[in-house]
Amino acid sequence: MIKRSNRVAIAIVGAAAFTLAGCREEQVDAAAYPNLQSCLDDASRGGIFSAQDCETSFAQAQTLHVEAAPRYDALEVCEEQHGAGACGSEATATQGGSGSIFMPLLAGYLMGNMLGGRAGMSAAQPLYKSSDGRFTNATRSSTFSSNSGSAKLNTSQFTRPAATVGKTPMTRATASSRGGFGSSGKGRTGFGG
């Protein structure tokens, strides 16, 4: 009888350890770049990503930018959230959008080594300047001190942002009620060289 109880206890302890390990969020190698050329330069020096990774992720970040960038009804509201000179019209950014809707300019991109991919996950995220001079991704899940460098990041940093194209743009009141675009980030992360 004792042998069976020991086996059951060991199985329960093993299952509990497996469950706890499964609750921890996976971390991946990630890097942020202000533009495609800086990523290509890093790849040529033996960085963690290849030139092909750079090009694919940059294209993905640009696509997400067009689909999911925050949109505002006035240039002033956009610049209150992202800083002076950090916004442009949707028509300019998307080549076909409205000239009366404004969105932040792409200030870089974040990429992770999501080999194999996951449903709802993306290997790249656009980065936007926030009014305090930091950078945030389109999902507003984190604020970064820089738009260049590398770090280990949780896979949640690459969750696909909700589409904003075709939706009502934020007004000053809506942006205020949400606490501003960049201020609701859950975590602050810095990138080291």
The answer to the question of residue 5 being in a domain is no
The answer to the question of residue 53 being in a domain is yes
Task: State the total domains in the chain.
Answer: 1
pLDDT digits (tens, 9 = 90+) for 17-65: 444 445 566 888 899 999 999 999 999 999 888 999 999 999 999 999 9
pLDDT digits (tens, 9 = 90+) for 148-185: 998 888 888 888 888 898 889 999 888 877 655 544 44
The answer to the question of residue 3 being in a domain is no
What does the block give as tokens for 77? 């509201």
The answer to the question of residue 117 being in a domain is yes
pTM: 0.75
pLDDT digits (tens, 9 = 90+) for 52-93: 999 999 999 999 999 999 999 999 999 999 999 999 998 876
pLDDT value of residue 158: 82
- C-alpha torsion sign, points 52, 114, 157, 67: positive
The answer to the question of residue 14 being in a domain is no
pLDDT value of residue 21: 47
pLDDT value of residue 181: 55
The answer to the question of residue 29 being in a domain is yes
The answer to the question of residue 149 being in a domain is yes
Domain housing 170? 25-189
Residue 153: CB atoms within 10 A of its CB come to: 25
- List, in order, residues 6 or more apart from 141 with CB less than 8 Å away: 156, 157, 159, 185, 186, 187
The answer to the question of residue 16 being in a domain is no
Q: What is the 3-state secondary structure (H, E, C) of 24-46?
A: CCCEEEEEEECCHHHHHHHHHCC
